[in-house]
Amino acid sequence: MPPPIPGLRLRSGVFDNSVCWQCTKRALLKGGAERPVPNYPARFFTRSTQPRNTTPLRTGYFVSNGLLARFNGTNVAPTASTPDVTDTSTLLPHRRRQAERRNAAVLAGAGSGGSSATSDAPTATMAPDASSLLAAAAAQHPADSLRRKLSSLLSLSKPRLTVLVVLSAMVPYALYPVPAFLSTAATATPSLSPLTLLFLTTGTTLCSAAANALNMLYEPDTDAKMSRTRARPLVRRLLTTKAAVLFAVGCGAAGTLALYWGVNPTVAFLGASNIAIYAGMYTPLKRLSVLNTWVGAIVGGIPPLMGWAAAAGESATADGTWRELLFASDGSSLGGWLFASLLFAWQFPHFMPLSWGIREEYKAAGLRMLAWTNPARNSRVALRYSLVFIPICLGLCAAGVTEWSFAVTSAPVNLWLVAEAVKFWRHEGHKGSAKGLFWASVWHLPVVMVLALAQKKGMWGRVWRSVMGEPEEDELEEFYDEEE
């Protein structure tokens, strides 16, 4: 193997890198060094009899290497004060995306020495959120490029959280018991309007983006003190405050109007209320009281009500006001409140172990969370709310939203969450209990939602009759009425 560096000059710190000793020795002997090679142990220069490690090197390995960087004209050698950031300009597109994600994680953890959580945290090193990753990717592009601006604006919306909000509104919409008169024909399956669903998802997305952007506008100083958020766009000044305000106001206005004209005024009011509660109450309350967690849970419970009210508005038989959609006299609105309570309760077994892992960062940033103000109560609250999912699932069956089989199929995942919450309460977050409860909550919500969708009341009966060619129950009733 020819030496990779033809004109090497040995300098201080030249061996503080990952170039193999054989290549270094050959380069020194052929290129001529200013001083002889030190007498390193023979094991550095002898061929090993062990099988070679064929594991691929990470992306940008040789580019980020300090020794080779001196002769490639780059300046990316890792030092004690400079993060090990990979140059992405010469990489292929798919490799570039991987390197950008890695750079985001490195930059996010640079200020805290690469580790911001204890060994009992949900992750050994708290990973940056989606906004920080997008902001780091945007910073790789020129300051005046369109891609940089779009990525920075998208990062203001907290895309992962926004996706969860939209999905929590879509599931109740899909599970609403559709009356038969919404059928387009006598033999058609009753269904809701796809156009209404489009306006619901679009408006909910914009409202969520507006609330999250206002949240970032309010607390860039505290975001800068936490490892997960210190790479967000306003902290890194990728956007001006004026641009962020215009983005938040535009998304809020457009989202509310989309819900008002495309869905109904009740859903539009709920969407606007969510923006006000999240940005105007929850965000400033984080500095004042631990009750901010309960206010944030209310914000999480409103999107399911929006989805339910959107579907109820299509089958409203009276004036379609908020009383009929949310407080129907026949009890048909009970399903929406059950879904809202499910999302409200889920916030606690999810957030309590997450905040416990970074409790010192919350404390340093001045944000009052139970994880550091009262760890014992923090674990009790997580356990308390993890116990309510079994009765909520039973309530969905009793309300006619799902089949009774849903109570049976959802029991294992509910019991798993309770078991992890008991460990979290018993050990107060230590011995890996915080990590166990956190990941149990991450899996719990989508599993429960999918099980509910798969066991919607009467869905499989309609599928069976459609496959076997049997008449619907409504058609049989009409036939018997005509015979009589």
Q: Tens of pLDDT along 278-334?
A: 999 999 999 999 999 999 999 999 999 999 999 998 887 777 788 888 888 888 889
Q: Specify which residues 456 forms β-bridges with.
A: 402
DSSP per-residue codes, 285-326: HTTT-TTHHHHHHHHHHHHHHHHHHHHHHHS--S---HHHHH
Q: Identify which has the larger pLDDT, 122 or 438.
A: 438
- What does the block give as tokens for 470? 């049997």
Work out the burial of residue 380: count CB atoms within 10 Å of its CB; fewer than 13 is exposed, 13-18 middle, 19 or more buried.
Answer: middle
Q: What is the mean pLDDT of the chain?
A: 77
180 secondary structure, DSSP code: G
Look at residue 372 in the predicted model and tell me its pLDDT: 92
Neighbours of 101 (CB within 10 A): 16
Q: Which of 130-134, 148-152, 475-479, 480-484 has the lowest mean pLDDT?
A: 475-479
pLDDT tens digits, residue range 93-148?
656 666 666 666 555 544 444 433 344 544 444 666 667 777 777 777 777 778 88
Whether residue 478 has pLDDT greater than 60: no
Query: Is the per-residue pLDDT at 451 higher than 90?
Result: yes
User: Which domains, ranges and CATH numbers included, belong to the chain?
Assistant: 141-178+193-319 (1.10.357.140), 331-462 (1.20.120)
Structure tokens at 95: 């490799």
pLDDT value of residue 8: 45
- Cα 342–Cα 344–Cα 345 angle in degrees, nearest 5: 70
DSSP 51: P
Taking the mean position of all CA atoms in its chain, how far away is CA 40? 50
Crossing angle, helix 130-139 and helix 93-110, to 10 degrees? Answer: 110
Output the pLDDT for position 194: 86
Mean pLDDT for the stretch of residues 149-155: 86
Spatial separation of the C-alpha atoms in residues 251 and 53, rounded to whole Å: 52
Joined tokens for residue 136: 């780091």
Of 87, 89, 78, 138, nearest in space to 114 by CA:
78
What average pLDDT does the segment 408-416 reach?
96
Q: Give the containing element (helix H, strand E) for 207.
A: helix 194-218
Distance between CA atoms of residues 88 and 140, nearest Å: 8
Give CA torsion, residues 124, 130, 136, 139, to 10 deg.
-170
Task: Report residue 92's pLDDT band, with 50, 70 and 90 as the boundaries.
Answer: low
Q: What is the mean pLDDT of residues 342-368?
A: 92
What's 278's DSSP letter? I
pLDDT reading at 370 higher than 60: yes
What is the pLDDT averaged over residues 11-30?
Answer: 57
Q: Give the per-residue pLDDT at 100.
A: 67
CA distance 245 to 240: 9
Burial of 252 (0-12, 13-18, 19+ CB in 10 A): buried
Percentage, residues of the chain above pLDDT 90: 44
C-alpha distances in angstroms, 360 versus 218, 296, 366?
Answer: 21, 21, 10
Q: Is the confidence at residue 11, as pLDDT, over 70?
A: no
Instruction: Quote the pTM value.
Output: 0.70
Cα 393 to chain centroid distance, Å, stands at: 24
Burial (CB < 10 A; 0-12, 13-18, 19+), residue 174, is middle
Q: Which pair of tokens denotes residue 250?
A: 């535009």
CA–CA separation, 203 and 211 (whole Å): 12
**Angle at Cα 162 formed by Cα 159 and Cα 167, nearest 5°?**
125
Averaged pLDDT, 331-357: 93
Scanning the structure block, which residue is given the tokens 């499910």? 342
Least confident of 111-120, 257-266, 377-386: 111-120
Which range in 130-134, 176-180, 430-434, 462-466 is most confidently predicted, on average pLDDT? 430-434
Q: In this structure, which long-range contacts are made by residues 23-26, counting pairs with CB atoms below 8 Å and at least 24 apart in sequence?
A: 24/67, 26/1, 26/2
What is the H or E stretch that residue 441 is in? Answer: helix 433-454
Q: Which residue has the higher pLDDT, 447 or 180?
A: 447
Residue count of the chain: 484
Per-residue pLDDT, 15:
47
Structure confidence at residue 179 (pLDDT): 61
| pLDDT for residue 284 | 92
Q: Assign 114 to helix, strand or coil.
A: coil
Question: Residue 92, exposed/middle/buried by CB under 10 A (0-12, 13-18, 19+)?
Answer: exposed
Task: Tell me the pLDDT tens digit for each residue of 226-249.
Answer: 888 888 888 888 888 999 999 999
* Residue 375 pLDDT exceeds 50: yes
Lowest mean pLDDT among 59-68, 121-130, 410-419: 59-68
Return the pLDDT at 139: 76
CB of 135 within 8 A of CB of 155?
yes
Measured CA to CA, the distance from residue 223 to residue 221 in angstroms comes to 5
What is 73-90 written as a DSSP string?
Answer: T------SSS--PPP-TT
Distance of CA 59 to the CA centre of its chain: 25
Helix (H) or strand (E) holding 255: helix 241-262
pLDDT tens for residues 30-41?
655 444 545 555
Section 376-405 average pLDDT: 94
Would you state the structure tokens that stand for residue 66, as one six-digit string? 């300090």
| DSSP secondary structure string for all residues of 387-409 | TTHHHHHHHHHHTTSB-THHHHH
In degrees, rounded to 5, the angle at the alpha carbon of residue 218 between the alpha carbons of residues 259 and 104 is: 95
Q: What is the mean pLDDT of residues 398-414?
A: 94
Angle between helices 334-357 and 292-314 (to 10 degrees): 150
